[in-house]
Amino acid sequence: MSWRVLSKAWNEFFFAPQSPVPIALFRILYGLAIIANLILLHSDWLNWFGAHAWVTLPTMTKVEPGTRINLFKLMPPADSWVEALFWVFLAFAVLLTIGLLTRVSSVAVFLCLASIQQRSLFITHGGDTFLRVAGFFLMFAPAGAALSIDRLIRVRTGRESGEIQPRSPWAQRMIQIELSLLYFVSFWWKSMGAPWVNGTALYYVSHLEEFRRFPLPGWLQQPIFLKLGTWFTLALEFSLGVLIWIKEFRYPLLALGLLFHLGIEYAMNVPMFQWDVLPAYVLFIDPADLKRAGSWIRKRTAVLSTGVTRMSRASSH
Amino acid sequence: MLWSGLFQSWDMFAPAPKSVNAYIQGVVITRDGRIHTWKFPRMEQLSLTQRYFKERYRKFVENLQDEKNSAVWPDVSRHLARLYNDPSNPPEIVMLVRYWSDIVPQPDGSYRPQPERARIFFEYRLKPEDLK
């Protein structure tokens, strides 16, 4: 493969304009995940981030010295300011979801998210990490170029045509790479551990009481199925990290990944992890397929609403 | 990476999942000698909805047990003391106790719960300024 071919492929991959619908759909799902996380955090907001939190800001700064994105360090150390940050964060998360002041909102959401994670590193999990890193790239993405109020305003005021214009997808590609990195590094670390190689890892995982959620059928807990499950996890994480980039494997792998995460959601207490990660799956869907799915949904809802109108007319006569 | 907010690690259950069931309780002794026990929320004892709201405690307790995070133990002790702060009978001592039982694979693949053990891993004597 020559250098020219390589550089052409690179440019094509990162910069050839494509529909911004996938990144816009991701923006909506991402925003919803942030809102859900905030709502779940609200009752303990001051316990984690307040002046007398479980871990105070000075201790956190001592544990993690150096320059960090942390708005808490800039605010007066009073609970009222910490409370205010929650509402500002929530407001920008809502704006990002609906696509109003999208760019500004994405920057504000990233700053707030990075700050609360930096302020309380001991409560963050993989899902939070993914949201933070994806949020960083989302700031640079044309996330408001479709499915947004910003676009609606631009079309109404004649600043943009009704047709959605293709945009450079480099930021979307970075989030896709981040997702595949998540799976590949998980696979890599697991493959270093004896329990994952000898097939006993899921035995331990399935007996960690804090993680148990709904009961699993007895046969699934037989040693042979736990072994197969352990190795399947390794194989799937490797595939989602590497093989997902091969077009022919993509949709079957996304379907398997979706089932895998829903399975974890059923069996284990890792609240929000699945919902933090799954939104990025839409970035791997071909924009043409998303368009087809969109028209199918529109047609269905049109048929449904016509049916409802007819029924209500019939009942009023 | 750290300053930009792009730091990351993907090591859940890796390289090996935990092989113990463990939890932490805080013990606060007030001036009158009374012992108060504060239980960190345990997922297995919460309703499905509560688990969504309190999951952060699971992660927190997981990190709290780790010796390398001992720098936060005094803060946690002071926070616990504040929960029982009565000026006429203030807290004097806070202890953090870890309870655990090993997960031991049986030859036939079954699971037999192991005896639970406990250890006080941190004791903190409160100073008057701690509760301000």
Q: What is the mean pLDDT of residues A5-20?
A: 94
What's the Cα-to-Cα distance from B85 to each of A49, A97, A245, B36, B56, rounded to whole Å? 20, 42, 57, 11, 24
CA-based end-to-end distance of chain A: 73
- From A233-237, B107-111, B116-120, the region with the lowest mean pLDDT: B107-111
Chain B residues in contact with A195 (beta carbon < 8 A): 16-17
Query: From the list B19, B72, B105, which residue is nearest A55 (CB)?
Result: B72
- pLDDT at position A152, please? 96
Chain A residues in contact with B132 (beta carbon < 8 A): none
Chain B residues in contact with A271 (beta carbon < 8 A): 51-52, 55
- From A191-195, B6-10, B19-23, the region with the lowest mean pLDDT: B6-10
- Closest to B35 (Cα-Cα) out of B116, B110, B89: B89
Q: What is the mean pLDDT of residues B7-23?
A: 89
Tell me if B71 and A122 make a contact (CB, 8 A cut-off).
no
- Mark which residues 94-123 of B lie under 8 Å from A by CB: 103, 105, 108-109, 111
Tell me if A59 and B72 make a contact (CB, 8 A cut-off).
yes
| Complex-level ipTM | 0.93
The three-state DSSP-derived secondary structure of A144-204 is CCCCCHHHHHHHHCCCCCCCCCCECCHHHHHHHHHHHHHHHHHHHHHHCCHHHHHCCHHHH
Residue extents of the structural domains in chain A: 17-168, 178-292
Tell me if A133 and B8 make a contact (CB, 8 A cut-off).
yes
Chain A residues in contact with B8 (beta carbon < 8 A): 129, 133
pLDDT bracket for residue A39 (50, 70, 90): very high
Q: Report strand pairing: B91-102 vs B117-125.
A: antiparallel
Pairs of residues, one from chain A and one from chain B, whose beta carbons lie less than 8 Å apart: 149
Cα distance between residue A259 and residue A275, in whole Å:
13
pLDDT above 90 covers a percentage of chain A that reads 80
pLDDT bracket for residue A1 (50, 70, 90): low
pLDDT in tens, A105-147: 999 999 999 999 999 999 999 999 999 999 999 999 999 999 9
Cα distance between residue A269 and residue A264, in whole Å:
8
- Give how far B8 is from chain A: nearest CA, Å: 6
Quickly count: other Cβ atoms within 10 Å of residue A294's Cβ.
Answer: 13
- Give how far A244 is from chain B: nearest CA, Å: 18
Residue extents of the structural domains in chain B: 20-131
Query: Whole-prediction pTM value?
Result: 0.92
Preferred mutation among B1, B9, B12 to probe A, highest tally of A CBs within 10 A: B12
Tell me if A54 and B6 make a contact (CB, 8 A cut-off).
no
Q: Answer with the residue of higher pLDDT: B111 or A82.
A: A82
Q: Encoding tokens for residue B54?
A: 């309190």
